[in-house]
A and B are shown apart, each in its own frame.
Chain A
Amino acid sequence: MVYETTIGLEVHVQLKTRTKMFCGCATGYGEAPNTLVCPVCLGYPGAMPVMNREAIGLTVVSGLMLGCDIAHWSKFDRKSYFYPDMPKNYQISQYDKPLCLGGGVKIDLEDGTEKTIGLTRIHLEEDVGKNTHFGASSGVDFNRAGHPLMEIVTEPDLSSPEEAYAFLQALKQILLYAGVSDCNLEEGNMRCDVNVSMRPVGQQELGTKAELKNLNTFKGVFHALQYEQERQAALLDRGERVVQETRRWDPDRGETSSMRTKEDAHDYRYFPEPDLLPVVLEDAQIDAWRKALPEAPRERRARFVQTYGLPAYDAGVLVAEREVADFFEEAVRAGGNTKAVSNWIMTDVLRVLSEKGVGILALPLTAASLGALTKLVEDGAVNMTGAKEIFAVLANKGGDPARLLDELGLAQVSDTGALEKMVDEAISANPKSVADYRNGKAAAAQYLMGQVMRLSRGKANPPMVLEMLKQKLDQ
């Protein structure tokens, strides 16, 4: 039988704040265990939470970037369940009045069309501690406990592992643009719970869903969904039922398995957190946040095509990272040639970044200097060979391209007298090539051209040399 897949995601995103959600402990990753803790995040007797204003702001910014309605009145609730990594055995979360409602994320489908994945809500909560397992016992590190965590819940709008993957990529890009999270998957900044069900094509009601917990990579989501699709389809083909349950993805074995959690785990006994007061946001305040939003990556890509006449593919590469796109625009503003700046970034700059393993802001090269470099090339002050040499210095140490041009002696030779001397020298030194050319081997001109460039130590103006060579050889 042919089935269709229905997928919904709950994405937990750690917000980029200096301190935890409800206490002043520093957020950090990789610190010695249980050193970023205080009575509040350890759930000590008598400790009380106080909201981190920045975390509220970052959640609102996320919501605005994702097209959500921002709640004018929002509150926190206690969600009760016992777990050793949860200090109070209740999590401060948001139940019926989350900060953000609705919204959506656009993704590109393989057939070139666009699809919007609806969001149900975004709420803010606190993260739990981290468990390490020994032989017969486990150990808990509470450094992560209390880190602000935004939970983004989608509608069941996704219909394939590919769409889920594309959604997560698009979401990550938007959140990075918004500057609300580092979205570092290795550090667990983004973690996914997945609901997936299948039904025969044409069936109205949804199939029974399985919940896949705590997927830490996008590839993991993709592969786990592929596995679940096959598993559920095989069950349905055999006429068996899919059991509603929570399943764990084992990336090493490449399969999901039942977690056999107790049913009562779902009686969370939510009630309003008495230690915290509501969050009330006025329109003016929300508008101020809205005005300060960065342009979203998709809009920016469209604008790059429109404004700079870039091919869609190139625009997509440039906007993939906000900092890179900013860099591009700044280089263009600094007088750089649009097409040339784009080419430099897409080839040399991104290569250097990946070699060095750093972000563009960490590079000594500035947008202004890249812009200036393209201008030097455009003006004929330096040829591409020289420009690459200058670029190498800019990328490693930075500097002023015009000054480097002088210091490195790379100024392009466009003086007709000097060029003519070198052209004559090359012709007289290579009679065989001259003969070849005149016998119809056009490629011989390229060889002679190379000889002139060598004589000029790479500085000759290539178009002028070629012109001159042809003139003399064709005589």
Chain B
Amino acid sequence: MGDAEQAKASGLDVAYVAHLARLHLRDDEIALFQGQMEQIVHYVEQIGKLDVDGVAPLSHTVSVSNVWREDEPRPGIDHGKVMDNAPEQRDGLIAVPKIVE
């Protein structure tokens, strides 16, 4: 419960999170989402009420391990199809605006 309360106190900053997710939002969208999100976050915070001490988190409902494949090559997809899907290309590369490294 403490954790969730703390999260709420810290607040959700839609503009910041949208930036993390590389999502441009208009100002009116930010305002709209901020309100809707706060309502939703408030709702999901009810899980803070439960005592979950000693409960192991569940990532998979399938309790299997070591699912792997042998190191054997398989055919991929044609270069032509890759390029047909690419919005822009140059010299067999997928072109993007200049990357500053």
Contact = CB atoms under 8 A, between A and B. Distances in A.
A56 B68 CA distance: 9
Interface residues of A, number: 53
B32 interface: no
Contacts of B79: 32, 34-35, 37
Given A84-B99, A138-B98, A274-B60, A34 B66 contact: no
A276 B101 CA distance: 31
B15 to A, nearest CB: 12
B93 A140 contact: yes
Contact of B94 (A32, A134, A139, A267): A139
A132 B64 CA distance: 41
A82 interface: yes
Contacts of A25: 73-74, 76
B79 to A, nearest CB: 5
Nearest to A214: B101
Interface size class of B (residues with CB under 8 A): 35 or more
Contacts of A19: 71-74
A280 interface: yes
For chain A, what secondary structure do more than half of its interface residues adopt (helix, strand, loop), or is it mixed?
Answer: loop
A344 interface: no
A31 to B, nearest CB: 10
Interface string A40-65: 01100000001111111000000000
A32 B82 CA distance: 13
A341 B46 CA distance: 76
Interface in B51-82: 59-60, 62, 64-77, 79, 82
Interface string A172-206: 00000000000000000000000000000000000
A54 B88 CA distance: 36
B97 to A, nearest CB: 6
Given A34-B83, A267-B20, A131 B65 contact: no
B95 A139 contact: yes
A50 B66 contact: no
A52 B92 contact: no
A264 B15 CA distance: 13
A50 B62 CA distance: 15
Interface in A257-308: 259, 264, 267, 269, 272, 274, 276-280
Nearest to B62: A277
Interface of A: 17-19, 23-26, 32-39, 41-42, 50-56, 75, 82-85, 89, 131-134, 136-142, 248, 259, 264, 267, 269, 272, 274, 276-280
10 pairs of A and B residues whose beta carbons are closest in the complex: A139-B93, A24-B74, A38-B76, A54-B71, A53-B68, A51-B68, A280-B65, A138-B99, A272-B59, A33-B92
7 contacts: A24-B73, A24-B74, A32-B79, A32-B92, A34-B94, A134-B95, A264-B16
